[in-house]
Every structure is written in C-alpha cells, then in structure tokens.
Amino acid sequence: MPAGLGALALGSFGIGLTEFVIAGLLPQVGRSLAVSEAAAGWLISGYALTVAVGAIVVTAATAGLPRKTVLTGLVALFVVGNLLSAIAPNYPLMLLGRVIAALCHGSFFGIGSLVARRMVAPERASRAVAVMFAGLTVANVLGVPFGALVGERWGWRATFWAITCVGVVAAVAIAVLVPGWAGAANRPHSSKDSGTAIGRADGLRTQLRAFRSGQVWLTLAATALGYGGMFGAFSYLAYTFTRVTGFSSTDVAWLLVVYGSGLVIGNMVGGRAADRNRDLALIASLAGLTVTLATFGLLAASPTASVVLVFLTGLFGFASVPGLITRVTDHARGVPLAASANVSASNIGNALGAWLGGFAISVGLGYTAPLYVGAALVLLGLAVMMIAARRSGRSEPDTTDLGLVHDRASAG
C-alpha cells in the first residue's frame, strides 16, 4: 500500500472522529456551555448541513488548484475548527468551530478519493478508495467510546485537543507522503489549453459540464437512497434495541461497535468486489442491505438475530461506498466536484432517512418502523442502480486523459 494512502486514511480518521465523537459528549458540552438539549443538537445537525453544502462550495472554489495543496489546506482548516472548539468559551464559538471543521469534510473525501485512486493501478481504484475510507469506518467504531472515555477522564475539551493533534499529524503526513504527481491538478485536454485553469480538467466550467451525464445523476440518486436507508435505520437503533429487543441502555455501546465492525469489513470487501465487477457489486450490496433491514424489522425481538443483523447492516451498508464513488467520478470524467457531490448526496440521504424514520415512529408505527422505512429507501436505490447498470451496458467510461491512471511519468 502506498504510504500516501495511509496519510489520507489518517486524515479521514481525524475527520471521522470529529463527526462522530460529539454524540458521546453532547450532555457534557450542553451543561458546560449552559444550552438546552435542542441547541446542543445543532452541534451535530449544523455539522451535517455544512458538510452537504460545503462539499460543493469548497470544491468549486478550489477548482484548478493542485489537489495535494487543497487537501493539505483542508486538513489545516480542520485543525483550526477543532482548535476553536477546544477553546470555545461559549456556544456560538463552539458552533462556529464545528462549522469550520465541517467545511473540509466533503471536499476532503471527494478530492482525496481521486488522489487515492491515482496512486494505484486502474484495476485497484476502488480498493484504494476503500483504504482511504477505512479511517472513517474505524472512527465510526472508536469515535463515540473514545470521546466518552477522554471526556469522562479529562473533560470534553481534551477530546477536541486530541483530535486537533490528529489533524496536525495528518496534515504533515499528507504534505510529506502524498506524491506530487498524484496530487497535481489534472492535465489539460489539449496543448492549446496548456497552463490555463480553464484548460484543466479541474476547471469549474469543465466540472459543471460533467453533470450533464445521466449516469452521474443516477449514481448520486442511488447514493442518497442507499445512505438514507441505512442512516434512517441507524438513527433509531438505540430505541429498537432497548424498546423492542430488550437490551439495556448500557448494551447499546457494544452493539454499535458490532455495527461499526461491519462498516470496516464491508468497506474493504466492497472495494475489492467493485474492482472486479463494480455494478454487480453495487447491486449485490444494495440488495443485501434491503433484505437485511427488512429481516431486522421482522426479527428485532430476538437478541441473537439483532446482533447478527446489526453487523450485516454495517457490512452491506458500507460495501457500496467505494464503488459508488469510483462510479460517479468515472462517469463524470474524473472531476472533483462530482466526487464531492457524492458526499453531499449521502448527507442529504442521511437527513431524509432520519426524518422519515422519526416520522414513522411519531405516527405510531413502532420502533421497528425505521428499519422498514430504511429497507424501502434502499429498495428504491437498488432500482435506480439497476436502471443505471442497464443503461451503461458493458462499456466503461474512458478516464485515461484525466489522470486517473497509475502514471508517475505525468509528474513532469
């Protein structure tokens, strides 16, 4: 594995910690800053909304710049946001720190996924993306318990100081270990365009043209629906476990670790499968998630079945991630804005799934309802993916002119 991939994985681990750690710290933060539970909740929802918008805005604003430079700058922004959170004397500054940190999230994963796949041979592209996202999946497993442990012993501010340190190390690692040829802006399409931002594949006008592709929109829709289904179920798992299955509230933490372990394994397995047959792997993972969520709803009263099914939810839920990212960027001809739009689509899906799951509970459908809602959303995503696969046929988009190949010679 190229050392540069490890540096990107470290960056994704730090960003993942920032996203997930706050859930375990929310009561402490709320008491410390003297705000209500609803206001404290905006430290989570405000972050998510900023990710959805910032992924597009920041990527568009940095169009044409060398990708390695942008990635290093994004992690620096991440450090500033978490440092502000660590020292924030009041709620508005704490929220500002969360917003600043969130601005780097979507663009880092969008641009970073393109840099990651550039460091390996084309047939290993999805696996390279999976390695980068491994940091995020590990953060999902460790984020909440890490935050709770550090916060309990040294206070919630210590957690953000620790994340700030992770960000500093990640920024240095990316600056040193990501090769310049992998993190350069894409080459011009023709010699007459050489040296101009407009002529680069990263130019904003070129990036916007990529969204004329129906395959890009179909993949984004599949992403939103797939993520929405998984997150719609995940958001209310604690209620399902305690109100339906009969687990105690203290059991929820290790059950979420089981779920997170499924994410880690699914991410790596999905990356390998996507490199063999991407569309088939995506269809299989979405179909597996649909069946898993529906079965979970039926068997939620069984503790043994619930443990197995929550693991499978994580496994199938994240198995589609590497393939969806490489698919949308291939059909968008490698432009970073499409990769970042994929992150935005996933966050929009998360918000939709969580809202629909909560609505189902509020109208009296019970605490297994989010599982069925999630299954329905993923089933729609599966249908979209099957349409996309059928329309694309056997042909794969040509990305050789966009630097999405293992080409060290292009450094010159």
* Residue 164: closest CA among 89, 88, 80: 80
Q: What are the residue ranges of helices labelled H in 62-89?
A: 67-87
- Res 318: pLDDT: 87
Mean pLDDT value across residues 341-365: 84
Rounded Cα distance, 164 and 83, in Å: 6
Task: Identify whether the C-beta of residue 87 lies closer than 8 Å to the C-beta of residue 103.
Answer: no
pTM: 0.76
Rounded Cα distance, 97 and 119, in Å: 32
Rounded Cα distance, 351 and 344, in Å: 11
Q: Is the pLDDT of residue 196 over 50?
A: no
Q: Which two tokens stand for residue 303?
A: 């503790």
Characterise 187 by phi-psi region: left (phi > 0), alpha (psi -120 to 50), beta (else).
beta
Rounded Cα distance, 12 and 226, in Å: 21
- Res 397: pLDDT: 53
Q: Is the pLDDT of residue 410 over 70?
A: no
- Res 229: pLDDT: 92
Same fold yes or no, 1-185 and 210-392: yes
pLDDT single digits (tens) 121-162: 887 888 888 888 888 888 877 776 777 777 778 888 998 999
How does the average pLDDT of the chain come out, rounded?
Answer: 82
- Res 185: pLDDT: 60
How does residue 23 score in pLDDT terms, banded at 50, 70 and 90? Answer: low
pLDDT single digits (tens) 221-272: 999 999 889 888 887 887 888 889 998 877 877 887 898 889 889 988 998 8
Topology of domain 1-185, per CATH? Growth Hormone; Chain: A; (1.20.1250)
- Range of lowest pLDDT (122-136, 182-196, 290-304, 370-384): 182-196
Task: Identify whether the C-beta of residue 112 lies closer than 8 Å to the C-beta of residue 342.
Answer: no
- Res 193: pLDDT: 36
Task: Identify whether the C-beta of residue 241 lies closer than 8 Å to the C-beta of residue 247.
Answer: yes
Task: Identify whether the C-beta of residue 352 lies closer than 8 Å to the C-beta of residue 175.
Answer: no
How does residue 372 score in pLDDT terms, banded at 50, 70 and 90? Answer: very high
Q: Is the pLDDT of residue 31 over 90?
A: no
Delimit the domains of the chain by residue range: 1-185, 210-392
Per CATH, domain 210-392 is 2.20.140.10: no
